[in-house]
Structure 1
Amino acid sequence: MRTRRQRFSDSTKRALVDVAERLFTEHGYSATSLDAIVAGADVTKGALYHHFSGKQAIFEAAFERVESRATSGIAHATEGHQDPWLKAQAGLRAFLEAVQEPGYRQIVISDGPSVLGHERYREQEERSTYAIVDEIVRAVLTDTEWDLDDAMLDTFTRIFFGAMSAAGGSVAVSEDASAAALRVEAAIGFILAGLQRLLEDGAEPPDPARTARATSRR
């Protein structure tokens, strides 16, 4: 059982992240000060430094919370779908709903890459939304006659994840996020439908060796 002091410490940390998330969402990283965060949480700056090394560290905590909330929403939306294609569509729709949230737009899309740096940002993504995309892609492609190895499955995942990340970014910065999300859903849905049709028509699976031979004959 956690002690009263530990519970108080946990409560203080949650309050700091609550306030930080709200301020980063409303004002962005650059315009949010540590003074504003501690004032909003009604704690001392010393209490903040007990939990976080500085502004970037508390931003990362807010980032992780927003990403985790988005990932949970996508996972919840895909639960119960036995048909992998319906699961993919539900996951895409949930992702596009997540990127329209003000916190996701500001903290993850707008500020995340510059504050965390490219490598750290990608690490965070791969631990959260990437894992969901990988699960969906593997569900779709392993429920077929194709016998793809892990390297090719990973390639498909990275292609779809890259497309969704870029499309999600365009939705997040759009003046009309709802309309942008509908365009993305229609476009990626069209690609998924094309892939489904290829599989149903018995198309051969992608083969790097065949591609190499065709390239060498050009």
Structure 2
Amino acid sequence: MKRSKEETYETIIKLKEVARKHFTEHGYAATVLDEIVKEASLTRGAVYHHFGSKKGLFLAVLESVQREVADKVESEAAQSENLWDQLILGCLAFVNAAVEEKNKRIMLIDGPAVLGWETWRSMDEQGSMRLLHEQLQLMQQQGYFESVSIEALTHILSGALNESALWIAQMPNVEESVEETFKIISLLLDRFKS
């Protein structure tokens, strides 16, 4: 009997939701595929059919996490019409989303370790880094950052945000650490402002 597209979609969503919970709570290495399929009331065959492997399932979960973070960045940046404020709001949204419990282990720790640095970096470039680059380009066209390489600034700022998120995720007072980070990020960006 053929499964409908809707049933297939529901199976994929269910597997990703349950897997995300397990990857968040236990990490990739300690997550057991049998526990995921049991909780999802599915079979290992469903995982292999839709994702190929545990690693393929993890990749799909990471893609979902990165999409959510990118959506959060866009949503927060859109709260202002001022380009400078959009940049700051977007950067702050990225860090806050990255350090959320449901995201940090998958996105910042296991992502690069499981998929490899190059794959993880490529995914980051297509998500949040792409949004950052677009914002910086727009700002340069509007007279900000006139004598600065936007490519270099994008990579430097993205690296600072990723490293800050890793640092903040380990701090006992996340809110205070985010505040400290954004004082420094704002000072850094002010130095490049035309």
Q: Verify same fold: TM over 0.5.
A: yes
* Distance in 2 between residues matched to 1:157 and 1:145, nearest whole Å: 14
What residue is the counterpart of 2:88 in the other structure? Answer: 89
Aligned length: 193
Please state whether the residue corresponding to 1:42 is helix, strand or coil: coil
What residue is the counterpart of 2:156 in the other structure? Answer: 159
Asked if 1:194 corresponds to 2:188, the answer is no
Are the aligned partners of 1:99 and 1:171 in contact in 2 as well (CA < 8 Å)? no
Q: Which has the larger radius of gyration?
A: 1
- Shift in CA distance, 31/146, structure 1 to aligned 2, threshold 3 Å: closer
- Shift in CA distance, 125/4, structure 1 to aligned 2, threshold 3 Å: same
- The CA deviation string for residues 6-45 of structure 1, in whole angstroms up to 9 with x for no partner, is 2111111110000000111111111111101101110011
Q: CA deviation at 1:145?
A: 7.2
- The CA deviation string for residues 146-183 of structure 1, in whole angstroms up to 9 with x for no partner, is 6558xx22112111111111112211232322222111
* Distance in 1 between residues matched to 2:158 and 2:144, nearest whole Å: 23
Q: Which amino acid in structure 1 is aligned with residue 71 of structure 2?
A: S
Structure 1: state its 5+ residue gaps.
200-218
Are the aligned partners of 1:19 and 1:40 in contact in 2 as well (CA < 8 Å)? yes
Aligned-residue Cα RMSD (Å) equals 1.8
- The CA deviation string for residues 191-213 of structure 1, in whole angstroms up to 9 with x for no partner, is 223333xx2xxxxxxxxxxxxxx
Q: Which amino acid in structure 2 is aligned with residue 57 of structure 1?
A: G
Q: For 1:11-160, list aligned pairs within 5 A.
A: 11-79=10-78, 81-144=80-143, 147=146, 152-160=149-157
Q: Which amino acid in structure 2 is aligned with residue 17 of structure 1?
A: K
Please state whether the residue corresponding to 2:31 is helix, strand or coil: coil
* Distance in 2 between residues matched to 1:84 and 1:77, nearest whole Å: 12
Identity value in percent = 28
What residue is the counterpart of 1:170 in the other structure? Answer: 167
